[in-house]
Amino acid sequence: NAGVTQTPKFQVLKTGQSMTLQCAQDMNHEYMSWYRQDPGMGLRLIHYSVGAGITDQGEVPNGYNVSRSTTEDFPLRLLSAAPSQTSVYFCASRIGQGNEQFFGPGTRLTVL
Amino acid sequence: GIQVEQSPPDLILQEGANSTLRCNFSDSVNNLQWFHQNPWGQLINLFYIPSGTKQNGRLSATTVATERYSLLYISSSQTTDSGVYFCAVRETSGSRLTFGEGTQLTVNP
């Protein structure tokens, strides 16, 4: 198993540009989620999904969109990037409620 | 929402020393995990421990769910143990994993 994979590893955007961060898992996990980590802080939840076709907002959803068309993929879209979205983004998955969560390697995003 | 507090915020050790990191949480949980974030930013799963005690080599963890705390023990520390240790919990009634702010561990040779 590759586990949770994320692409790209690094990205630089200009203010106003859009992009999609990719996340995939090959463990047949129901739950997937996106977190951001800012310097010196823990991770904060952006959006999550409890299964294909179902998504919901987390703690800091503004400026981000998600969709879950398949069990394996959970892309995160930035519609109009802002400097405040400069952060490290982690995707995670788990098999079900209350189970261990696994994280991808992260995407380091800089918005100029 | 649930509050997660980790202590100490920073810890500096000499190689070979032992340490205890603490995680307090404010509500009932059905998931508690300890992670190590290495200097390259990777989050490494250490323990999935909503209750009880587990050991993995030089590391062990204990969660006392009824008293709402968990402890991570590191024995005979090595320089490769350096990094940030996060505790994360999920409320029994919720679906999100809430992180503490972490303990920054530095192990000097």
Question: Shortest CB distance from A98 goes to which of B30, B41, B42?
Answer: B30
Using one digit for the tens of pLDDT, what is the confidence trace for A76-103?
A: 999 999 999 999 999 999 987 768 899 9
Q: Is B86–A42 a contact, with Cβ atoms under 8 angstroms apart?
A: yes
Query: Phi and psi for B79 in degrees, rounded to 5?
Result: -60, -30
pLDDT at A61: 96
Would you call B99 an interface residue with chain A, using a CB distance cutoff of 8 Å? yes
Would you call B93 an interface residue with chain A, using a CB distance cutoff of 8 Å? no
Question: Shortest CB distance from A48 goes to which of B33, B95, B99?
Answer: B95
For A13, other C-beta atoms within 10 Å of its C-beta total 19
pLDDT at B75: 97
Q: Which two structure tokens, joined as six digits, stand for A34?
A: 């996106």
Pairing of strands A102-103, A107-111: unpaired
Residues of B in contact with A33 (CB under 8 A): 96-97
CA A100 vs CA A29, A38, B45: distances in Å: 11, 23, 9
CA A53 to chain centre: 16
Q: Is B101–A33 a contact, with Cβ atoms under 8 angstroms apart?
A: no
How many alpha carbons fall within 13 Å on the CB side of residue A106? 17
DSSP line for B22-77: EEEESS-EEEEEEEEE-TT--EEEEEE-SSEEEEETTEEEEEEGGGTEEEEEE-S-
Determine the Cα–Cα distance for residues A75 and A22; give it in Å rounded to an integer: 5
CA A95 to chain centre: 17
Q: Is A90–B45 a contact, with Cβ atoms under 8 angstroms apart?
A: no
pLDDT by residue for chain A (112 residues), tens digit each?
789 999 999 999 999 999 999 999 999 999 999 999 998 778 999 999 999 999 999 999 999 999 999 999 999 999 999 999 999 999 999 987 768 899 999 999 999 9
